[in-house]
Structure 1
């Protein structure tokens, strides 16, 4: 799920952009299926089964690496990798819950603020310099989040904070991934995301097990396949092009998910959500542009 999990920069930007667009479409489909299944069954069980398949995927990737599974699993920062995996699994649970509470449109409108959170927290956590222009973009972006949430207007819904929490958790996960990259390669970090996640989710998911209908098992299988396909496309994307060149296209997941919400789940787009999301995306694109320019 992270855009920084497997990263070997190449120079085929056009291919990288196409792969990133494909990944956003696949991940939007994954979110739509997650919304359906989590609306019918326990969130923990749905995420657990998804992790069963993801863990098989990451192990198969590790076995194909030079040195095999033993080399990929070797790390000098095991507790950091375990914490990363835990944060990722918890974030997925929170975000899927947000889909059931608010729908795809509003959940993604708030969640797209995570790059701004990464930019804001990169200073205290990673020691990176955040200049006045990036701080200005961050503040404007969070103004967009406030426009979406509408605090103080009518009856504020606490459920609106759920995707904001998911964005904060994903931002923390992204920063931990950057920090881990100082000593571990991307294959090792990706491996621990799958393995730690399945260890963490399995006992919780089994405790909350519910019988699933035959058609929904089909949707569950499709959810697992989209998860693996999405990560594969991201792997290929970062092998083909630099992250700074393709990252802006990751925002396309918002309109794809919004279209699914409108067409399949009969959701609506309120004016404040569209306006706030536009401000957040514009601010996020500006921070990416500033980061690329500084590099």
Structure 2
């Protein structure tokens, strides 16, 4: 059954998803530093993310009882492995640099996915899309500041996470045309949990009570954010929804200020703004490219 278009509800779902996603990075930073006990390794934090997200989505599937079709296991494994690697690097980055900076760098995802779609999906990229990529790249250089005294090597971890997650987006594009959203989420978290469990064996330490609570909240918030994002995308066009996703940066900056008294530097604000400008241009161009064949028909 087709969901009725409701832009107000769509904006609400996306804003809630943005607040939750930014919240997961805050919890990762708390667990990765000494605020709740001895710092946890990023691989252990990502294990908690996948473990508790898998539990939450399995409970959701148990209530809704969806019919799963035959999964494309190869795509699921590749997508989950890249998602696990990307989120592990992201959690490592936020331990050392401000949440807002790491979040802004992660907004390179769609740009990277666009470039990777050329060899992987056979898509053509026109001058507008290349222009959006160039603008976002300039913003990344402003934000990371390579070759200056303000440069922090951990920014490269966030950049690597953005590249890997961009690759993940191309795999999601292939999956969404074949399987239902809940099936994709369940397999993603089931396989991701398996990979994360194997990896955490090499760095495991017993979390404190506070860290267990943080990890449980992190995974549950991520699963809820994914569900909210899907609901938002079902209720409005991508062109309407896309700008609201950048609220994640606002929430990350707010959480960083409240939790760690971190105030964004002028270069951070400028770099983030340039990256967002590139992302908005790309979203606008993607929407126009999608509408043309519909109008032709």
Settle same-fold status: TM greater than 0.5.
yes
- Matched residues in 2 for 1:33 and 1:268: separation? 18
Summarize the Cα distance change of 1:103–1:215 in structure 2 as closer, same or farther, 3 Å threshold: same
- Matched residues in 2 for 1:137 and 1:235: separation? 25
- Matched residues in 1 for 2:243 and 2:3: separation? 16
Shift of 1:9: 6.3
Aligned length: 283
- Matched residues in 2 for 1:9 and 1:176: separation? 25
TM-score (norm: length of structure 2): 0.88
- Over residues 159-181 of structure 1, what are the superposed CA-to-partner deviations in whole Å (9 max), with x where a residue is unaligned? 22110011111111111100222
Shift of 1:143: 0.8
TM-score (norm: length of structure 1): 0.89
Cα root mean square deviation, aligned: 1.9
- Over residues 138-176 of structure 1, what are the superposed CA-to-partner deviations in whole Å (9 max), with x where a residue is unaligned? 111101111112223347433221100111111111111
Shift of 1:287: 0.8
Summarize the Cα distance change of 1:9–1:114 in structure 2 as closer, same or farther, 3 Å threshold: farther
Q: Is the 8 A contact 1:33 1:219 kept in 2?
A: yes
Look up the match of 1:5.
none
Q: Is the 8 A contact 1:35 1:103 kept in 2?
A: no
- Over residues 205-248 of structure 1, what are the superposed CA-to-partner deviations in whole Å (9 max), with x where a residue is unaligned? 23322222223333233223322322222232233233332122
Please state if 1:55 is matched with 2:66: no
Any stretches of 5+ residues in structure 2 without a counterpart?
A: 34-38, 291-297
Summarize the Cα distance change of 1:182–1:223 in structure 2 as closer, same or farther, 3 Å threshold: closer
- Matched residues in 2 for 1:105 and 1:95: separation? 12
The one of 22, 25, 30 equivalent to 2:19 is 25
- Over residues 181-211 of structure 1, what are the superposed CA-to-partner deviations in whole Å (9 max), with x where a residue is unaligned? 2333323322221111011011222332222
Q: Is the 8 A contact 1:107 1:163 kept in 2?
A: yes
Q: Is the 8 A contact 1:145 1:280 kept in 2?
A: yes
- Matched residues in 2 for 1:156 and 1:43: separation? 21
Q: Is the 8 A contact 1:87 1:169 kept in 2?
A: yes
Look up the match of 1:264.
259
- Matched residues in 2 for 1:231 and 1:155: separation? 34
Summarize the Cα distance change of 1:245–1:130 in structure 2 as closer, same or farther, 3 Å threshold: same
Q: Mean Cα displacement is larger for which, 220-229 or 275-284? A: 220-229
Look up the match of 2:77.
82
Look up the match of 2:285.
290
Please state if 1:43 is matched with 2:28: no
Shift of 1:283: 1.1
- Matched residues in 2 for 1:238 and 1:263: separation? 30
The one of 80, 99, 108 equivalent to 1:104 is 99
- Matched residues in 2 for 1:224 and 1:84: separation? 18
- Matched residues in 2 for 1:152 and 1:227: separation? 35
Shift of 1:10: 4.6
